[in-house]
Amino acid sequence: MTYADFFYDIKGRFMGADVSDIHEHLAFEFDIEDEEAGGAFYVEVKDGVLYVEPYEYFDRDARFICAPEVLVKIAEGEMDPVWAFTTQKLKVEGNIDKALRLKEIIEAKQREMKKAAKQAEKKAKKG
């Protein structure tokens, strides 16, 4: 898997999260350590809108460093980011208080996915 493939996959896992209730600016850089899929990208919450872009973010609140499979599990809600940090699967630099807010973004995405699944189920029952 190339960096571009990984980035667009992970972007899809984050995008769609309703972050309108997050009223502060958050900027996270993710540095992926992998020979093929390695690279940097950022996740930003600004004015209640989520952005995921394939660039470094030098004015970031926190920087996360991990392998691609770790980030996928975190983004899918299969791995708690705090647990990943304590077991050293995820390294964190910067403002730890703001870094902990990553979990809110992940939970917002999971809520949106559950909502979409319920709507699809209703539609299937009607159809």
Read off the amino acid at residue 100. Answer: L
Q: What's the pLDDT at 125?
A: 85
The two tokens of residue 14 are 């984050």
Q: What's the pLDDT at 127?
A: 67
What's the first-to-final CA gap in the chain, in angstroms?
A: 38
What is the three-class DSSP state of 101? coil
Of 1, 62, 5, nearest in space to 29 by CA: 62
DSSP H helices, 16-101, are: 68-75, 81-86, 96-99
pLDDT averaged over 10-residue windows placed end to end, the chain, 127 residues: 95 90 95 96 95 95 98 93 96 96 90 85 82
